[in-house]
Amino acid sequence: MKSQDLRRLLKVLEDYNITEFEWESTSGRVFVRRGDAEPPPQVVVAPAQPPPAVPVPAPTAPPPAAPAATPSAQELPQGVQVTAPIVGTFYLSPSPGAPPFVEVGSQVKVGEVLCIIEAMKLMNEIEAEVAGTVAAIVATNAQPVEQGQVLMVIVPD
């Protein structure tokens, strides 16, 4: 389509207030959308009324035990703590069924992949910043981790 033909087409669309046009042939395709077809609808939300107070009966049995908490810094072995740089899901291996990158007792080198954190469908490899021995793996495989959470501890060589 020549530029003068396109200008004429745009003029016709404007004259007839056409907001969307599509044309396709063996020589090409043209799709034009001008502005909004209609202004977006206005949405008005009334404030919600609080629900009436309902008395809660006292529990008769103690609540189930919470999952084991992450060990405190005092319970971890001495060494360099590897922390999560981002929020995501922690993985010890590159794929299900594959051997883990490292285990407790593994010797690691600087730059060696220790684990993966999946965030928004992206696999982020976490690498060792020091050479040494993996003394503890604190995070649980395939479980969420928070930014700054200790994943493992490496005792430097």
pLDDT digits (tens, 9 = 90+) for 77-126: 899 999 999 999 999 999 989 999 999 999 999 999 999 999 988 899 99
As a whole number of angstroms, the distance between CA 7 and CA 5 comes to 5
For the sheet with 88-91, list strands across it: 122-127, 113-119, 88-91, 143-145
Q: Is 4 helix (H, G, I), strand (E, B) or coil?
A: helix
pTM of the predicted model, to two decimals? 0.54
pLDDT digits (tens, 9 = 90+) for 45-60: 556 666 666 676 666 6
pLDDT digits (tens, 9 = 90+) for 21-45: 777 777 777 777 776 555 555 555 5
DSSP 8-state class, residue 148: T
Q: Which domains does the chain have, with CATH numbers?
A: 3-33 (no CATH), 80-156 (2.40.50.100)
Question: 120 burial class (0-12, 13-18, 19+ CB within 10 angstroms)?
Answer: exposed
As a whole number of angstroms, the distance between CA 100 and CA 48 comes to 51
